[in-house]
């Protein structure tokens, strides 16, 4: 009982909530780049939080259902078709054995999450099914999905067809503002350099992936050229010698030696990961206290989001 991959698309990866507590052996987190869309995918399906789904980058993915179940697609605006007929996103829809599921190329955003009722049954690697291709762990073989792969899942005969109302869904635009929590190295950037960083826009380059987004704009200089390698958190903003910021994401290396001006709030990196090359990024400072408040408010907002039942 499974979904069979007939066309993997540009980049489709199995992801759960992420791999934590393994930095000491050099393994990074992995997990969904857009944690918000990932959360809603599992919540709509009634799955346990963190259940394994497919993260689809840019689209072009096709699957064949070999079991009766229910699926849900959230995240970027990627048209969903079942047997050639359009099906709604952000809503649970039934599939039957033999159905063809097609996720077309994105119109807005670039990361979508396709989940199945009860989640995909993937054996964990170091405590998680999250795929990190650089480390060759997680997923089926530590790699992206390929034609002919089978994704084990259970037959589910009854599931409510819930949807998230449009006004509660995130909007993916061509520009985002990243709220930045200052780090202990921020003092090594002069006030002029900090003002330049926070007052100018930066453009997403073609060097953007799950490891991080390299940006292009006014160069920022630091009093120090490098530091002893140290642990790096998700969202850390490195300033390499060329002065062009790099925002590090889920598949980043666990240590690095470039100075960091601060770390982007995780709520905002989810929207950064939906940008394609040419998108615009602005930075805004935020205190740790305000960042904690924003996280708690976002958590409360997601829990209160009303789900509506639709006819299958």
For the segment 119-131, what is each residue's pLDDT rounded down to a tens digit? 999 999 999 999 9
Which is more confidently placed, 81 or 157?
A: 81
Q: State yes or no: pLDDT of 202 exceeds 90.
A: yes
Domain 175-300, classified CATH 3.30.9.10, yes or no: no
Boundaries of every domain in the chain: 2-170, 175-300
For residues 195-220, average pLDDT: 97
Q: Please give the mean pLDDT across all residues of the chain.
A: 95
Residue 234, C-beta contacts closer than 8 angstroms, at least 6 positions apart: 29, 248, 249, 250, 252, 263, 266, 269
Q: How confident is the model at residue 229 (pLDDT cuts 50, 70, 90)?
A: confident
Cα 113 to the chain's mean position, in Å? 9
For the segment 263-308, what is each residue's pLDDT rounded down to a tens digit? 999 999 999 999 999 999 999 999 999 999 999 999 999 999 999 9
Nearest to 30 by CA among 134, 174, 111: 134
Q: State yes or no: pLDDT of 146 exceeds 80.
A: yes
For the segment 61-109, what is each residue's pLDDT rounded down to a tens digit? 999 999 999 999 999 999 999 999 999 999 999 999 999 999 999 999 9
Task: Find residue 128's DSSP bridge partners.
Answer: 125
Q: How confident is the model at residue 228 (pLDDT cuts 50, 70, 90)?
A: confident
pLDDT of residue 227: 80
pLDDT of residue 238: 95
pLDDT of residue 162: 96
The pLDDT > 90 percentage for the chain reads 93
Residue 138: HSE in the Cβ half-sphere, 13 Å Cα cutoff: 29
pLDDT of residue 272: 97
pLDDT of residue 1: 80
Nearest to 256 by CA among 2, 4, 26: 26
pLDDT of residue 132: 97
Sign of torsion over alpha carbons 168, 169, 170, 171: negative
For residues 11-32, average pLDDT: 95
CB 270 within 8 A of CB 33: yes
Nearest to 217 by CA among 187, 247, 188, 190: 247
Q: How confident is the model at residue 118 (pLDDT cuts 50, 70, 90)?
A: very high
């Amino acid at each position: 009982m499974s979904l069979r991959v007939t066309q993997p698309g540009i980049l489709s990866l199995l992801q759960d909530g992420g791999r934590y507590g393994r930095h000491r052996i050099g393994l990074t987190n992995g997990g969904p780049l857009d944690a918000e869309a990932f959360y809603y995918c599992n919540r709509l399906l009634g799955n346990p939080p963190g259940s394994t789904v497919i993260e689809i980058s840019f689209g072009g993915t096709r699957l064949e259902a070999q079991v009766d179940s229910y699926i849900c697609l959230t995240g970027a605006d990627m048209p969903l078709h079942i047997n050639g007929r359009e099906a709604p996103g952000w809503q649970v829809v039934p599939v039957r054995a033999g159905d063809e599921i097609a996720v077309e190329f994105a119109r807005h955003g670039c990361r979508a999450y396709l989940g199945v009722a009860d989640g995909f049954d993937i054996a964990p690697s170091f405590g998680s099914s999250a795929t990190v291709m650089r480390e060759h762990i997680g997923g089926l073989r530590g790699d992206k999905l390929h034609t002919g792969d089978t994704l084990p899942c259970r037959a589910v005969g009854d599931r409510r067809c819930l949807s998230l109302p449009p006004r509660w869904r995130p909007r993916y635009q061509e520009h985002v503002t990243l709220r930045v929590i200052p780090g202990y190295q921020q003092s090594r950037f002069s006030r002029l350099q900090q003002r330049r960083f926070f007052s100018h826009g930066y453009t997403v380059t073609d060097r953007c992936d799950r490891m991080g987004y390299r940006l292009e704009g006014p160069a920022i200089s630091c009093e120090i050229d490098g530091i002893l390698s140290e642990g790096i958190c998700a969202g850390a903003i490195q300033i390499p010698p060329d002065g062009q910021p790099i925002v590090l994401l889920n598949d980043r290396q666990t240590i690095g030696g470039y100075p960091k001006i601060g770390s982007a709030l995780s709520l905002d990196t989810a929207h950064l990961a939906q940008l394609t090359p040419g998108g615009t990024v602005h930075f805004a400072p935020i205190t740790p206290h305000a960042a904690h408040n924003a996280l708690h408010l976002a958590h409360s907002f997601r829990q209160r989001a009303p789900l509506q039942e639709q006819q299958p």
